[in-house]
Structure 1
Amino acid sequence: MNLATHYPVLQVVIPMLLAPLTMLMPSRLLAWLIATATSLCAFAIAIAITQLVLAGDVGAYPLGGWPAPFGIELRVDALSALLLLLISGASSAALLAGYQSLAQDIDAQRANLFFAAWLLALAGLCGIVVAGDAFNIFVFMEISSLASYILVAASSDRRALPAVFKYLVMGTIGATFYLIGVGLLYIMTGTLNLADLTARIPEVTNQTPIFMAAGFISVGLALKAAIFPLHAWLPNTYSFAPHAVTAFLAACSTKVALYVFLRVDFFVFQGALSGHGAQFAGYLMPMAVAGILLGSAIAIREPLVKRLFAWSSVAQVGYIALGASLLSHTGLSAALLHMFNHALAKGAIFLAIIVLAMRAGGVSIEHLKGLGRQHPVLGIAFTIAGLSLIGIPGTAGFISKWFLIQAILEHPQWSLPLLIIVLASSLMAVVYVAKVAESLFFQHAETQRQPLPLMPMTIVVIASAANIAFGLAPQLPVEIANAAASLLLEQTL
């Protein structure tokens, strides 16, 4: 058995084992170095897993050699590979770009604890993605959530404390709903393994508890994913967390919850419960539409840049949910591709905000006046990420929106209103991105030009360039998204 066979478990074990070592580091620099090296290692493993998945070489990994359902099973497929790339890539970029920003924001005496919590969040998010049973998804969900609360609360901004309290309360409610649903499934089927649940649910005589479980799990995961109207925790959490933490969480935390939402619903319920697909679309589509419109509209009026793009995330989650609610291969491909492309765009935007905040001393639109003229590379990188968020041709965001439009056109009974909604929200995105760009480029700076830190700027440029690269050559994410969509739909046939 070669090393590649163990990649799924190494993705979780390495950051989890190095978190205690990080706690013992006597300086901020050493703790950051260990956390960054670990995150880069996880990213390298995610790339290797993706290559193996595309070659068809990775599947189930029984821990300790005990096969499911008697043992714990890890499972990696195209859907898992896509999320592992997002999680480990976002973590690595945020750590590389955020060292100087975190040095200003985090108490030096607690920096080792902060970076240990970061690694636990990384391990938990990766664990959610590779777990093959419903209960261990919950376990890793709690590990990542508890660590995320610590990361947000570490901010020097006192407004982070009420924000993280709301995040904690709503996250706990979401996890409780999910666990109640899992408990009902176990009572009715006697198993927690997702593959076994798919086979055993149709054999259950009384399907009412199964429908109740589907309801509890769907609501709990929708809350975790910040699907409207269960989004109330997200704007303040993203706004008042340390800038590097926002870049990390905004790129992947809601995407992981959406991953679980789609995997459990399509793998466990839609193939086993008669009529569940119509119920799924019936409640998810209106929520997605409302989130797209409301999130975009509020973002237009928001003066704080981080909060503006937090509300934008509510709208972008709506796009993903809308694609999934269409219950078609093209719609699911659009949803999964938009997970990847939105992470690229929003990650690049929040990475740029790290540098802008260090230079301007704040993150309101007023603080950013003229910084794009003083630092054109930074301003252009920010604008490219914003154009990808809008969905301008030539950017990654355009590819997933084009897939979404194609999926909508496959359903002529509601294609016109949905197309109008997508167009209207894209125009609203033009307004709020242009509002920030106008402050960057068309207003005069109130301070003199100062040099920008090299490492954060390099990461911002790379992240921004990735939005162009995957817009002009989208074959890799499209291939992974198509494979993942096929995998999900196989369970419903």
Structure 2
Amino acid sequence: MLNHLIILQVIVPLLGAPCCLIVGRNRAAWLFALLVSAVSFLIACLLLAQVYDVGSLTYELGGWAPPWGIEYRLDLLSAWLLVIISLSSTVCLFAAQTSIQKEIEPDKQLFFYVAWLLCLAGLLGILSTGDAFNVFVFLEVSSLSTYTLIALGKRRQALWAAFRYLIMGTIGATFILIGIGFMYMMTGTLNMADLAVRLPKVEDSQAVFVAYTFIVVGIGLKMAMFPLHFWLPKAYAEAPSIATAFLAASSTKVAVYLLIRFTYTVFDGQLETAALPLTDILVALGVLAVFSASTTAIFQLDIKKAIAYSSVAQIGYMLIGIGLGSALGMQATLLHLFNHALMKGGLFLSIAAIVYRLGSSQLDALNGLGKRMPITSLSFTIGGLSLIGVPLTVGFISKWYLVSAAIESGRWPLAMLIVMGSLLALAYIWRVVERLYFKESEAGAPTGEAPLMMLIPLWILISANVYFGIDTRLPIEITAEAARSLLEGIR
């Protein structure tokens, strides 16, 4: 069984989705989806431990040896992301049954869990496969199910947000497919490890440059990279709150993984020799994302949309780390992938608890909530401090490494810009904290904490924000090794 863990990582949620339909009833479907997600998380942990001990793992489908057959390949980077995605899914699903009671009609809740498991299967498949075309297939599986999750929002605007994301997602997927087609035309292979060997032999061809350009633009649309991000805030704001928590903690992380994978593994960073200032472009886009998205977040009247814009800014920090092109910069990005999942998962679960009790995420509705929902309000405050990068939280750790990487490369102005970007986060988090603790609530405002089934997963993530901000050994050891392996080639 241990020899088949790689394929089981994808098959379990993929088969779990149609089985969810057979289970039928809403509560039973929720328990089944939670069980499937928990099994996926357990498999991911076993795979991470195995990869950390023995190195990369491969799995040949149907007994066909690569590059002729489809290969699944796990290195430390993909195994690390498997844990992050499956953990996010499991924690968020724990609160899902309670959260969606007031946001999704009962007759649609079953389809919500089916779409969730399909999305999980697609994300895990992207991380596991070693075949470029399979990346596109799993990307479409996760994207189509994501459109469904967003469309299930309780307001009619959710349909428009899902449709807009569908259009942009389809364009992004088409660009990625065109890029893969160019690579296949030049090399005759779709296996990513084989592509890494064959592409350098044709690197002088303009087709290789065009292939990479199409792939980066397509991935940029999927990951909401500035300035291709405008679909994300509306999609996150209109989706069911618990779906937003899961998507914010997972989907953009997988897109960042694809950018890293294609840039440093498939193309092996060789496009720097093609007169393409790749690192400078990524750093510039990252800085623009941090300042433009953070500034926009300050003026939002819906905290769900404000934190959604914040996600665009946090993706900017990841781009800066990738663009620095050093082991320390890459480690900062990989750290932020994990830390951002904890931060945004915790913040959006806090918002889900607020929406459950108040029925709104508007800023005006939060007046005096610190007294009426003290536990939930405290969780949002701690998550906000982590997002800012206050010491003893995970946000401080990844930003410290990012600033250190900028200084190591001699880019002192960039280090100062990163710190200034964090101060902008302080502005929009303070707007919420001020409403929670320093404004009086209106007479007759709803009172009472969120249900325990929402508070437990919420505080698991918020506690993790503090714990891994103090005891950093596990994420730092894994990300340091993963960054070194990336820059030296496939481990």
Q: TM-score, normalised by structure 2?
A: 0.97
Contact kept in structure 1, 2:293 and 2:312, CA below 8 Å: yes
Moved more, 398-407 or 39-48: 39-48
5 Å-filtered alignment, 1:129-278, equals: 129-204=127-202, 206-273=204-271, 275=273
- Aligned residue for 2:59, secondary structure, equals strand
1:420 aligns with 2:420: no
Contact kept in structure 1, 2:248 and 2:344, CA below 8 Å: yes
Relative to structure 1, the CA distance from residue 195 to residue 241 in structure 2 (aligned partners, 3 Å threshold; closer, same or farther) is same
TM superposition shift of 1:50: 1.5
Which of 424, 429, 442 is residue 433 of structure 1 equivalent to?
Answer: 429
Matched residue type, 1:16: L
Relative to structure 1, the CA distance from residue 266 to residue 205 in structure 2 (aligned partners, 3 Å threshold; closer, same or farther) is closer
Matched residue type, 2:409: H
- Aligned residue for 1:270, secondary structure, equals coil
- Aligned residue for 1:24, secondary structure, equals helix
- Could you tell me which residue of structure 1 aligns to residue 438 of structure 2? 442
- Aligned residue for 2:267, secondary structure, equals helix
TM superposition shift of 1:113: 1.8
TM superposition shift of 1:491: 2.9
- Could you tell me which residue of structure 2 aligns to residue 486 of structure 1? 484
- Could you tell me which residue of structure 1 aligns to residue 320 of structure 2? 322
Contact kept in structure 2, 1:300 and 1:431, CA below 8 Å: yes
State the Cα RMSD in Å. Answer: 1.6
- Aligned residue for 2:72, secondary structure, equals strand
5 Å-filtered alignment, 1:297-308, equals: 297-308=295-306
1:36 aligns with 2:16: no
Which sections of structure 1, spanning at least 5 residues, go unmatched?
A: none
- Could you tell me which residue of structure 1 aligns to residue 111 of structure 2? 113
- Aligned residue for 1:362, secondary structure, equals coil
1:381 aligns with 2:379: yes
- Could you tell me which residue of structure 2 aligns to residue 46 of structure 1? 44
1:64 aligns with 2:70: no
Which sections of structure 2, spanning at least 5 residues, go unmatched?
A: none
Matched residue type, 2:90: S
Relative to structure 1, the CA distance from residue 233 to residue 319 in structure 2 (aligned partners, 3 Å threshold; closer, same or farther) is same
- Name the CA distance, whole Å, in 2 between partners of 1:79 and 1:472: 23
Contact kept in structure 2, 1:296 and 1:315, CA below 8 Å: yes
Contact kept in structure 1, 2:357 and 2:446, CA below 8 Å: no
- Could you tell me which residue of structure 2 aligns to residue 390 of structure 1? 388
Contact kept in structure 2, 1:277 and 1:327, CA below 8 Å: no
TM superposition shift of 1:367: 1.2
- Could you tell me which residue of structure 2 aligns to residue 454 of structure 1? 452
- Aligned residue for 1:118, secondary structure, equals helix
Moved more, 47-56 or 344-353: 47-56
Contact kept in structure 2, 1:198 and 1:272, CA below 8 Å: no
- Could you tell me which residue of structure 2 aligns to residue 331 of structure 1? 329
Contact kept in structure 2, 1:40 and 1:88, CA below 8 Å: yes
- Name the CA distance, whole Å, in 1 between partners of 2:342 and 2:352: 15
CA displacement, residues 363-389 of structure 1 (integer Å, 9 cap, x when unaligned)? 011112222222322221111111111
- Name the CA distance, whole Å, in 2 between partners of 1:263 and 1:276: 19
Moved more, 60-69 or 273-282: 273-282
Relative to structure 1, the CA distance from residue 276 to residue 99 in structure 2 (aligned partners, 3 Å threshold; closer, same or farther) is farther
Q: TM-score, normalised by structure 1?
A: 0.96
- Could you tell me which residue of structure 1 aligns to residue 15 of structure 2? 17
TM superposition shift of 1:279: 2.6
5 Å-filtered alignment, 1:67-78, equals: 67-78=65-76
TM superposition shift of 1:448: 5.1
- Aligned residue for 2:245, secondary structure, equals helix
- Name the CA distance, whole Å, in 2 between partners of 1:324 and 1:26: 44
- Name the CA distance, whole Å, in 2 between partners of 1:12 and 1:133: 14
- Aligned residue for 2:325, secondary structure, equals coil
Matched residue type, 1:478: I
- Could you tell me which residue of structure 2 aligns to residue 346 of structure 1? 344
- Aligned residue for 1:55, secondary structure, equals helix
Matched residue type, 1:443: K
Which of 94, 97, 100 is residue 98 of structure 2 equivalent to?
Answer: 100
Moved more, 371-380 or 384-393: 371-380
Moved more, 88-97 or 447-456: 447-456
Matched pairs, number: 489
- Name the CA distance, whole Å, in 2 between partners of 1:491 and 1:377: 46
- Name the CA distance, whole Å, in 1 between partners of 2:343 and 2:271: 37
Relative to structure 1, the CA distance from residue 205 to residue 388 in structure 2 (aligned partners, 3 Å threshold; closer, same or farther) is closer
TM superposition shift of 1:302: 0.8
Contact kept in structure 1, 2:278 and 2:323, CA below 8 Å: yes
- Aligned residue for 1:470, secondary structure, equals helix
1:477 aligns with 2:469: no
